[in-house]
Structure 1
Amino acid sequence: MSSFDFYFARSGNSLRAAIALELAEVPVRRHLLDLSTAEHNNDWFKKITPAGHVPVLHIHQKDGRDLVLTQSGAIMDHVLGERRPELWPENTLDRANCTAMVHNAISDIAVQNTLARYLAHEPNAANLVLERMWTSLYAAFGPLQNAPYLCGDTPTIADFAHFPVVYMRAPHLRSIPRAAHVIKWLDRMAQTDPVATAIEYAGVQIKG
């Protein structure tokens, strides 16, 4: 039987992977890295993943062929694809739409969110990126006007992929009337046991 080591930080990408692991009920050994002290640049961690990025899921297999899986989307796809296939719609077109939402969460919205954080010392640039992020986020969450979740009546992988950025930006969103439907969705998602557990060890929020 395989064993798992999960290397993560208090970050949106790490929270996304942590949620997937909790949903899949994967028994992992957790290793929290402190990004503020550049712990991810330590030699011991670079031996596991030369890029020094989190999250990382190190899968130790019985046959000795270990797999070091990086990227929160890949971790989600692997562990949930194996253990929670019902989180994808069965209909081909619905599945394609759901997959597009996942890519939007990870490659568009999450990237813009991270850029805005790194550009905090350049207010004009940060605000430009944030405006693009909010536009993308409100567009992505349009389906919530007609359904409780992004792809219909039940949560799918798209909801879990989008959760980290919305959770991180929740203090701001709670002050915006037009975001009421997003906050309602956020609170509903946060009450599920796997998400609540992942928040405890990998969640982070930006005040204001």
Structure 2
Amino acid sequence: MRSLTSSDVIALTTIFTIQGSIHAFSRMAGPSTTQFVTNKMCPFAQKAWIALEVVNAPYELKEISLYGVNGKPDWFLKMNPAGTVPVLSCNGGIVVVPDSELILNYIADGAVEGGSQLQSPSSEEAVKKWRKDISDRVIPIGKEAVLGGSRDKLFSILQEVDKNVQLPYLCGDQITTADCAAFPFLWRLDQEFGPLTQGDHGCGNLRSWLDQCDSTSSFKKTVQTNWWWWW
């Protein structure tokens, strides 16, 4: 499935299908409200939350439980039958985006009302590479390491991506969706195996980047005392 862009949303009528759920997007008049449905301990939801904070868009955060007797209320399952967080609802529910990667794309295009654009065209290729490396390599190999697999394999990958950090953020001077996508997972690995450093792990650039994010309010606001892994 291709990524959702702002041009999809402003089309007269666009049908978007994800995990068996069909949402119709139309250029109808409606309230200009943005609602972000999440669970604050989920790293996938966290990356979308960071992006909303970075673009300084006005939004209402609604947190739901995902497990136990209070998990997944009916109104949420109607919004996203797949039952996963996060879900971004815009314009009073006219636009519903039920996937963290698609939400990042939507926010990056400046499609959230009242929010700025998240990245410049000059960083587009670097952003794509970072997001692919995090999704396809760091996340699965990190999971293996946490569950007792090879730490050497994880540190080898981290040393490799460390060379691509441009500082102060992953793609240079500006925060992009690469930073939003990477931070929840690299932060958790830093908590488990770190602190990641140049001397101990060959990750000096990642250390500087993590410290930069930790001191930036858009990231700091989303960090929780109690948190989940990604499985």
Task: Please tell me the residue identity of whatever aligns with 2:180.
Answer: F
In 2: Cα distance, 1:101 partner to 1:38 partner: 38
- Greater relative CO, 1 or 2 (CA 8 Å, sep 6+): 1
Question: CA-atom RMSD, angstroms?
Answer: 3.0
Query: Match for residue 123 of structure 1?
Result: none
Cα gap change, 1:175/1:106 in structure 2, threshold over 3 Å: closer, same or farther? Answer: closer
Structure 2 partner of 1:136: 157
Q: Distance in 2 between matches of 1:157 and 1:147?
A: 15
| Aligned CA distance change for structure 1 residues 175 and 164 (closer, same or farther; 3 Å) | closer
Q: Which runs of 5+ in 1 are unaligned?
A: 121-125
Distance 1:116 1:35 in 2: 24
Write the distance in 2 (CA, Å) between the matches of 1:190 and 1:205.
Answer: 18
TM-score (norm 2): 0.68
Aligned residue for 2:10? none
Looking at secondary structure, tell me which structure has more helix per residue.
1
Which segments of 5 or more consecutive residues in structure 2 lack a partner in the other structure? 1-30
Q: Is 2:34 the partner of 1:34?
A: no
Q: 1:111 to 1:24 in 2, by over 3 A?
A: farther
C-alpha displacement at 1:58, in angstroms? 1.4
- Contact conserved, 1:17 with 1:55, CA < 8 A, in 2? yes
2:45 to 2, 7, 14: 14
Q: 2:227 maps to which residue?
A: 204
- C-alpha displacement at 1:116, in angstroms? 4.7
Residue 130 to residue 8, structure 1, CA distance change in 2 (3 Å): farther
Could you tell me how far apart the structure 2 residues matched to 1:84 and 1:129 are? 41
Structure 1 residue aligned with 2:119, among 87, 98, 112? 87
Give CA-to-partner distance per residue, 1:167-205, whole Å, 9 cap, x none.
22222221662134322210111211211223359x837
TM-score normalized with structure 1 length: 0.74
Pairing 1:49-68 to 2, within 5 Å after superposition: 49-61=80-92, 66-68=94-96
Seen in structure 2, the aligned counterparts of structure 1 residues 74 and 137 have a Cα distance that, compared at 3 Å, is farther
Against the structure 1 CA distance between its residues 130 and 28, is the aligned structure 2 distance closer, same or farther, given a 3 Å change threshold?
A: farther
Aligned residues: 190
Counterparts of 1:41-190 in structure 2, within 5 Å, are: 41-61=72-92, 66-82=94-110, 83-85=115-117, 87-88=119-120, 90-91=121-122, 94-113=123-142, 115-116=143-144, 126-128=147-149, 133-144=154-165, 147-171=167-191, 172-174=193-195, 177-178=200-201, 179-190=203-214
Deviation at 1:140, TM superposition (A): 2.1
Helix, strand or coil for the counterpart of 2:97? strand
Greater mean deviation of Cα atoms: 168-177 or 70-79: 168-177
What CA deviation, in whole Å up to 9, does each residue of 1:111-130 have, x standing for no partner? 555x559xx7xxxxx33386
Match of 1:193 in 2: 217
- Give the aligned partner of residue 19 of structure 2: none
Cα deviations across residues 36-77 of structure 1 (Å, max 9, x unaligned)? 43755443321110000011111235xxx7122122221111
SS in structure 2 at match of 1:45: helix
Q: Would the alpha carbon gap of residues 129 and 21 (structure 1) be closer, same or farther in structure 2, given more than 3 Å must change?
A: farther
